Structure 1
Amino acid sequence: MPTAIILLLVAVGSVLFHIVSPWWWTPIASNWSYIDHTLTATFWITGAVFFAVVAFMAYCIFRFRHVEGRKADYEPENRKLESWLTVATAIGVTAMLVPGLFVWHQFITVPAGAAQVEVMGQQWRWSYRLPGADGRLGTSDVQYISAENPLGLNPNDPNGKDDVIIDGGDLHFQIGRPIKVLLRSVDVLHNFYVPEFRAKMDMVPGSVTYFWFTPIRAGEFDVLCAELCGLAHSQMRGKVIVESAQAYNAWLAQQKTFAEMSARSRTAAAERQPDQERARPGR
C-alpha cells in the first residue's frame, strides 16, 4: 500500500507541478499561437497517459501484492488487453501527430508578399542579408566567403549588388509584416531561435531551410542558437528588434549594401598597397 500511494502522489504531483509551474513559456510575439496550442494538447495527452500508466502500476502493486498462501497464475498472453492497448496507443499517437502536421503545413506555406531575410550561422556568430531595391537576393556560395565577403555572395551576380549586409549587428523587423526567413550555415549545424516567436529551424550546411512568421509585438528579443554547435555555443547570441515601419525604414537606410562594402574594401586595399611596396626589402 505505501508504494502504491507514493506512485500515485508522484503522478499527481508531476502533473500539478507542470500546471502551476512559474517556468512557463515567454509571452508570444508572433502569429504562431498554433504552436502553443499544439504543445498544450500534447501535454494533456501525454500527461493523461503518464497518469494512467502510473495509476495502473499502483493498482497492480496493490492488487497483486504478496499474500501468504496465494498462488500466482501464469498468463503469458492476453489478446483482449493487447488489442485495447494497441487501439488506445494508435489513437493517442494520432491525436498528437495530426495537429502538428496541420501546423507544419502552415509553418512552411509562406504568404504572398512576405519580406525576405537570409540568416547565416557560423561558429559562433550571426550574419544577415536583406534584398535591396530590386527585391531579389543574389546567389551565394561558400567559395566566395572571405573577410571582405563574409556571407559568400556571388560578385558576378547583378541581383546581389544591392543586397543589404548586416554582419554581426542587430536584425530589425517591421511589426505586422510577414517575413520569410532563409537559413544557411557555413560550418556545422546551427538553429536560429527567438523564443518569443515560437519559430525555429535547423541550419544545415549545404542546404537552405526556411520558415515564416509575422511579428506582432514591438520590442527587443534575444536570438539563440538551439543546436549544440561547439565550444562557444552558449555565446552565439544576437538581438532582433521589432519596430514600426517608419523606424524600420530609417534603420534600413543606414545599412551598407554588398556593392558599397566591396567598394570600401577595394579602396582600403588600394590605400595599403603603397605601404606594402615601401616595406619590401630593397626599397
Structure 2
Amino acid sequence: MVVVVALVVVVVGSVVFHMVSPWWWTPIASNWAYIDTTLVITFWITGVVFAAVVLFMAYCVWKFRHQPGRVATFDPENRRLEIWLTAVTALGVAAMLAPGLVVWKQFVTVPDEATDVEVFAQQWSWGFRLPGEDGRLGTSDARLVSADNPLGINPHDRFGQDDVIVASGDLHLPVGKPVKMVLRSIDVLHNFYVPEFRAKMDMVPGMVTYFWFTPTRTGEFEILCAELCGVGHGYMRGYVLIDEETDYQAWLQEQSTFAEQYAGRGVRAASVSP
C-alpha cells in the first residue's frame, strides 16, 4: 500500500505543480503565442498519458498484490491489447507532431518587411551585426575572421561598409517591428536562446540558420547558449534590449559601422558608392 500511495502522490503532485508553477507564466516579449499553445497541447497529451500509466501501475500493485493462495498467470501475447496500444500511441504522436509542423512553418516563414539582424557565436561570446543606411547586410565569410575583423565581414562588399557592428555588448531592437535573426557560428555548435521570446535555434558551423519574431514589449531579456559548447558554456550569456523607436535610434547612432571600426586596422575597405 505504501507503493500505491506513493504513485498516486506522484501523479497528484505533478498536476498541482503544473497548475501553480511560478515559472509557467513568464513574460511574453514577442508574438509566439502559438508556440505556447503547442507546448500546452504537448503537456496535456503527455500529462494524460503519464497520469494514466502511473495510476494504472498503482491499480495493478493494489489489485494483484500478494495474497495467500493466489497464483500468478503468464500471458506473453495479447494481440488485441497490442493493436489497441499501437493505435493509441500513433494517435498521440500524431497529435503532438501536427501542431509542431504548423508552428515550424510559421517560425521560418519570414515576412518581407523583416529586418535582417546577424548573430555571431563563438566560444564563449556573442557578436551582432545590423544593417546600415542601405538597409541590407553585406556578405561575410568564416575565412575572413581575424582579430581585426571578428565577424568575418567581406571588406570588398560595398553593402557591408555601413553595417553596424556590435562585437561585444548588448543587442538592441525596436519594439513592434519584425526581425529576422541570421545565425552563424565560427567554431562549434551553439544555440541562440531567448526564453521570453520563445526563440531558439541551433547555430551550426558552416551553415546559416534563421528564424524571425516581432518584439511586442520593451524590456531587457537574457540571451543564453542552449547547446553545450565547452568549458565556458555556462558563461556564454548576453542581453537583448527592446526599445521604443526613439531610444533605439539614439542607441543606433552611438554604434560604429564596419568601415569606421576596421578600415584603420588593416582591413581593406571597399568603396561605399553604388
Q: Which category of TM-score, normalised to the shorter sequence, fits these structures?
A: over 0.9
Q: Which residue of 1 aligns with 2:250?
A: 250
Three-state SS of the structure 2 residue aligned to 1:212 is strand
Deviation per CA, 1:256-277, whole angstroms, max 9, x where unpaired?
111111223249xxxxxxxxxx
Quote the offset at 1:40 in angstroms.
1.3
Cα distance in 1 between the residues matched to 2:234 and 2:73: 56
Three-state SS of the structure 2 residue aligned to 1:24 is coil
Amino acid at match of 1:41: I
Cα distance in 2 between the residues matched to 1:57 and 1:91: 22
* Greater mean deviation of Cα atoms: 162-171 or 64-73: 64-73
Deviation per CA, 1:35-85, whole angstroms, max 9, x where unpaired?
111111111111110110011111111222222222222211111111111
Q: Which residue of 2 aligns with 1:96?
A: 96
Unaligned runs of 5+ in 1: 268-283
Quote the offset at 1:25 in angstroms.
4.5
Cα distance in 2 between the residues matched to 1:6 and 1:166: 54
The correspondence of residues 1-283 of structure 1 with structure 2, limited to 5 A, is 1-266=1-266
Deviation per CA, 1:179-200, whole angstroms, max 9, x where unpaired?
0000000011111111111111
Q: TM-score, normalised by structure 2?
A: 0.93
Amino acid at match of 1:184: R
Amino acid at match of 1:193: Y
Cα distance in 2 between the residues matched to 1:266 and 1:102: 48
Amino acid at match of 2:68: E
Three-state SS of the structure 1 residue aligned to 2:241 is strand
Amino acid at match of 2:248: Y
Unaligned runs of 5+ in 2: 268-274
Three-state SS of the structure 1 residue aligned to 2:150 is coil
Amino acid at match of 1:100: G
Quote the offset at 1:143 in angstroms.
1.4
